[in-house]
């Protein structure tokens, strides 16, 4: 009943908020031409003079609302024909020395100035596509959704060139309609905004004013009007690729080779089903990663979440990430019976091979959005059956199934509404061949804003079902609901997150633990207008109270306060302080029904980031934590040094030191006793990166990482039934 009361309270509070209309957006009338523009970075074609430029930009940071000086003015010209959109621009500067530029490669900005065009093709104030160009003509593109969430993994095919001028830099872009999704109406109006960054001064400008005290920026766009009779051409592309891998696993795991190598090739196909929907699929799957995982020594009871580095699972997946139910590393991950093989062999057998990754057969995704704002996504992937091979003393071998033929599916529906709002439905499904269990999760989401976009009500309800778990079906429930003030200088958000003891979306998502009820309060205040010594300041605090759901029990309470901002010299600085009260940890003992009493903890953190437009820049971070139990203390030091030798060559080095003294944690289980240890842990991590770009299309990157972590147990303790520790001793020592 308390849960229902909470939801009703925030719902009625939302209904009572006062709303009024947004400021009138700028409008830019479209100009259609009959012949294409040559893309060379020069604005010498007479056709550019036939259209009215977008100008009179407004500063976004560091001085919101300021007008763009005439000497640094921006002039943008937009044309279109039956195949493409053409953008030309002149970014004026007093001197060439005021321009910051660096060659960093596709989809990176680095220390460059840039100019970005953002098209909201359905004019729904929620979804948009951005195309950015630097003074070197390098490209960056991204998808935007919600309150400005950026998906920089999205890639489109388009053209750009830029040229240096005596009083600034000019550029030209050609964006073919194949790069965009839009409706089939004869007459259209698109949302439009244009952003310019001047890196050396830390300034950003928008064509249509964007107020940092208002939530989101897509909803603060202008309009590009009068677009007539355009259609999407055949959208068909093939992306072949080639890769080689050398992997070293120094774990001495039976059946897993320490050193492996492979040569792979693959091909992706992208096909435009219609103006609004696109099919992506793998013809020859090669799901190798472009970067290895950052492996760590994990002493926690939970798995480590790794980043996704496979391009197929990072590009164009914004719809499938609704509700945080999709963790793509599950696909092609560790077979579900990988660790069971050793218990299924006889004493005279040994494991000859046991593949640690499931092999993919194919993967397909279809996504798009209709003219009425309905986003539709379908995802499917299939992995092969996987087997371990065991061999006896006489050389006879047999196979043990470690992973059944598995089919992964996701269906998403996302309907945009007025006032930058949306409702969504998502279903994830994992079907396994044979006797292994199947998994299904269904969720409904809503994200509602008032007309001014200053208050937000959001929530999610999810149901999970595991079928054929020892012949039974296990169903679980989860929900979260939040209400807050998202506009203005003062903001707050209050949320409740509940997951019962049966809920599980781990087969295609990641959930570290279930069985909890969390209540969270966040408040913040921001100063976006510059003061005497700062450009902006952000101050926030949060409270989090957590209980176990069943049987109900207190878990933890913590309070944090954080302040950060930018100084006049373009340095960023911040400070954090946190307190954790004594709590109950039901997971560290690794035994159901046992609990470990955690002690109160204090944590302090300070950091800085120097002006990154300089040739040399540095990031520094120091934190210290004090624990009552065993007078434990931990430190963390992080120093990043970066140096740009010129526009093409740069080096970076990161050093992390993390000593932890008198830490208490799980060690072993002996009979009915859960053993903890008082231990010291020292971790050192070094990462060296180097890049050299020959031009805007070709470059070399190098990255090497060394990670070292050592744990030394000093004393052992028995976990008592009340959750406290007593010194462990053998019977003749007690």
CA–CA dist 689, 561 (Å, integer):
33
Q: Residue 324 half-sphere exposure, CB side, CA atoms within 13 Å?
A: 10
Q: Residue 11 carries which DSSP code?
A: H
- Domain membership flag for residue 291: no
The pLDDT of residue 290: 55
Q: Can you point out the beta strands (E) in 404-471?
A: 406-417, 421-432, 438-449, 455-469
Better pLDDT: 602 or 239: 602
The pLDDT of residue 6: 37
- Domain membership flag for residue 411: no
- Last residue of one domain, picked from the residues 190, 205, 228: 228
Q: Does residue 128 surpass a pLDDT of 80?
A: yes
- Domain membership flag for residue 296: no
- Domain membership flag for residue 88: yes
pLDDT in tens, 129-148: 999 999 999 999 999 987 77
Rounded average pLDDT over 662-669: 95
- Last residue of one domain, picked from the residues 194, 228, 262: 228
Q: Which residues pair with 484 in a beta bridge?
A: 456, 493
The pLDDT of residue 540: 98
Counting every residue written for the chain, the total comes to 734
Q: How far is CA 650 from CA 113, 171, 576, 646, 688, in A?
A: 17, 25, 31, 7, 11
The pLDDT of residue 498: 98
- Last residue of one domain, picked from the residues 193, 228, 263: 228
pLDDT band at 234 (very low <50, low <70, confident <90, very high): confident
- Domain membership flag for residue 442: no
pLDDT in tens, 554-581: 999 999 999 999 999 999 999 999 999 9
Residue 269, judged by CB atoms within 10 A of its CB (0-12, 13-18, 19+), counts as middle
Cβ atoms < 10 Å from Cβ of 49:
9
CA–CA dist 196, 191 (Å, integer):
17
Residue 455, judged by CB atoms within 10 A of its CB (0-12, 13-18, 19+), counts as buried
Q: Does residue 397 surpass a pLDDT of 50?
A: yes
CATH of residue 84:
2.60.40.1190
The pLDDT of residue 728: 86
Of 15-19, 488-492, 544-548, 638-642, which range is least confident? 15-19
Q: To the nearest 10°, the Cα dihedral for 149, 150, 153, 154?
A: 90
Q: Say if residues 382 and 394 touch (Cβ distance below 8 Å).
A: no
The pLDDT of residue 665: 96
Q: Residue 358 carries which DSSP code?
A: P
Total number of domains in the chain: 2
Q: Can you point out the beta strands (E) in 233-336?
A: 236-248, 259-272, 277-284
Of 103-107, 288-292, 345-349, which range is least confident? 288-292
Q: Does residue 179 surpass a pLDDT of 50?
A: yes
Cβ atoms < 10 Å from Cβ of 185:
12
What SS3 string covers 540-565?
Answer: EEEEEEEEECCCCEEEEEEEEEEEEE
What the block records as the tokens of 108 is: 């990176």
- Domain membership flag for residue 310: no
The pLDDT of residue 267: 79
Give the three-state DSSP class for 493.
strand
- Domain membership flag for residue 622: yes
CA–CA dist 480, 464 (Å, integer):
15
**Contacts of residue 472, Cβ cutoff 8 Å, sequence gap at least 6:** none
Give the three-state DSSP class for 8.
helix
CA–CA dist 104, 96 (Å, integer):
20
The pLDDT of residue 286: 57
Q: In terms of Cα–Cα distance, which of 13, 100, 102, 26 is closest to 647?
A: 102
The pLDDT of residue 249: 64
Residue 191, judged by CB atoms within 10 A of its CB (0-12, 13-18, 19+), counts as buried
Q: Could you list the residue range(s) of the whole structural domain that residue 181 is in?
A: 31-228
Q: Can you point out the beta strands (E) in 47-146?
A: 58-61, 74-80, 84-92, 114-120, 128-133, 139-145
pLDDT band at 252 (very low <50, low <70, confident <90, very high): low
- Domain membership flag for residue 383: no
The pLDDT of residue 385: 96
The pLDDT of residue 3: 43
52's torsion region: left (phi>0), alpha (psi -120 to 50) or beta?
beta
pTM of the entire predicted model: 0.86
* DSSP per residue, 564-626: EEEETTS-EEEEEEEEE--EEESSTT-STT--EEEPPEEEEEEEEE--TTSSEEEEEEEEEEE
């Amino acid at each position: 009943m308390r849960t229902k009361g909470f939801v009703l309270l925030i719902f009625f509070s939302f209904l009572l908020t006062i709303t009024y209309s947004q400021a009138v957006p700028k409008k830019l009338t479209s100009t259609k031409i009959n012949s294409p523009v040559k893309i060379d970075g020069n604005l010498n074609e007479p056709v550019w003079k036939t259209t009215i430029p977008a100008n009179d930009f407004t500063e976004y940071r560091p001085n919101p609302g300021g007008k763009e000086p005439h000497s640094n003015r921006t002039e943008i010209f937009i044309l279109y024909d039956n195949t493409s959109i053409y953008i030309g621009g002149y970014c004026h500067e007093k001197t060439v020395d005021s321009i910051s530029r660096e060659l960093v490669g596709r989809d990176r900005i680095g220390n460059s100035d840039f100019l970005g065009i953002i098209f909201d093709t359905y004019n729904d104030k929620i979804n948009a596509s951005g195309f950015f160009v630097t003074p070197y003509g390098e490209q960056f593109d991204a998808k935007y959704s919600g309150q400005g969430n950026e998906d920089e993994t999205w890639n489109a095919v388009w053209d750009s060139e830029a040229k240096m001028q005596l009083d600034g830099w000019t550029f030209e872009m050609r964006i073919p309609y194949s790069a965009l999704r839009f409706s089939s109406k004869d007459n259209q109006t698109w949302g439009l905004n244009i952003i310019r960054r001047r890196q050396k001064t830390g300034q950003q400008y928008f064509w249509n004013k964007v107020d940092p005290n208002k939530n989101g920026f897509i909803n603060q766009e202008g309009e590009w009007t009068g677009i007539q009779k355009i259609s999407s051409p055949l959208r068909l592309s093939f992306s072949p690729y080639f890769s080689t891998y050398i992997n070293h696993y120094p774990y001495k795991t039976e059946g897993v080779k320490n050193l492996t190598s492979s040569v792979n090739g693959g091909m992706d196909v992208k096909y435009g089903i219609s103006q609004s929907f696109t099919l992506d699929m793998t013809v020859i799957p090669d799901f190798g990663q472009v970067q290895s995982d950052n492996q760590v020594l994990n002493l926690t009871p939970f798995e480590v979440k790794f980043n996704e580095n496979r391009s197929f699972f990072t590009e164009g997946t914004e719809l499938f990430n609704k509700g945080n139910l999709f963790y793509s590393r599950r696909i092609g991950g560790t077979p579900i019976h990988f660790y069971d093989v050793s218990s299924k062999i006889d004493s005279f057998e040994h494991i000859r091979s046991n593949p640690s990754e499931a092999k993919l057969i194919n993967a397909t995704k279809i996504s798009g959005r209709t003219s009425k704002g309905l986003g539709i996504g379908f995802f499917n992937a299939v992995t092969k059956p996987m087997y371990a091979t065991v061999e006896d003393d006489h050389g006879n071998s047999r196979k043990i199934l470690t992973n059944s033929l598995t089919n992964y599916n996701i269906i998403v529906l996302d309907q945009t509404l007025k006032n930058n709002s949306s409702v969504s439905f998502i279903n994830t499904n994992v079907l396994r061949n044979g006797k292994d269990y199947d998994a299904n999760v269904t969720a409904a989401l809503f994200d509602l804003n008032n007309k001014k976009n200053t208050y937000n009500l959001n929530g999610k309800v999810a149901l999970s079902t595991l079928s054929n778990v020892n012949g039974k079906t296990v169903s679980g429930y989860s929900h979260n609901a939040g209400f807050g003030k998202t506009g203005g200088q003062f903001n707050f958000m209050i949320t409740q997150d509940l997951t019962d003891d049966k809920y599980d979306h781990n087969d295609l998502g990641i959930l570290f633990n279930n069985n909890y009820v969390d209540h969270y309060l966040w408040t913040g205040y921001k100063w976006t207008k510059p003061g005497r010594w700062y450009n902006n300041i952000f101050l926030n605090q949060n409270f989090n109270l957590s209980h176990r759901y069943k049987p109900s029990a207190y878990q933890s309470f913590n309070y944090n306060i954080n302040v950060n901002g930018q100084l006049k010299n373009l340095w960023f600085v911040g400070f954090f302080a946190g307190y954790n009260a004594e709590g109950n940890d039901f997971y560290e003992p690794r035994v159901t029904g046992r609990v470990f009493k955690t002690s109160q903890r204090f944590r302090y953190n300070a950091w800085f980031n120097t002006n990154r437009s300089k040739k040399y820049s540095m990031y520094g971070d120091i934190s210290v934590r004090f624990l009552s139990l065993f007078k434990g203390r931990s430190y963390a030091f992080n120093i990043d040094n970066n140096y740009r030798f010129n526009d093409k060559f740069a080096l970076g080095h990161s050093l992390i030191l993390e000593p932890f003294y008198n830490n208490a944690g799980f060690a072993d289980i002996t009979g009915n006793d859960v053993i903890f240890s008082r231990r010291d842990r020292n971790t050192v991590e070094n990462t060296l990166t180097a890049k050299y770009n020959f031009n805007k299309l070709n470059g070399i990157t190098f990255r090497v990482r060394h990670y070292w972590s050592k744990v030394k147990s000093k004393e052992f303790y028995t976990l008592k039934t009340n959750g406290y520790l007593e010194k462990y001793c053998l019977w003749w020592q007690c």
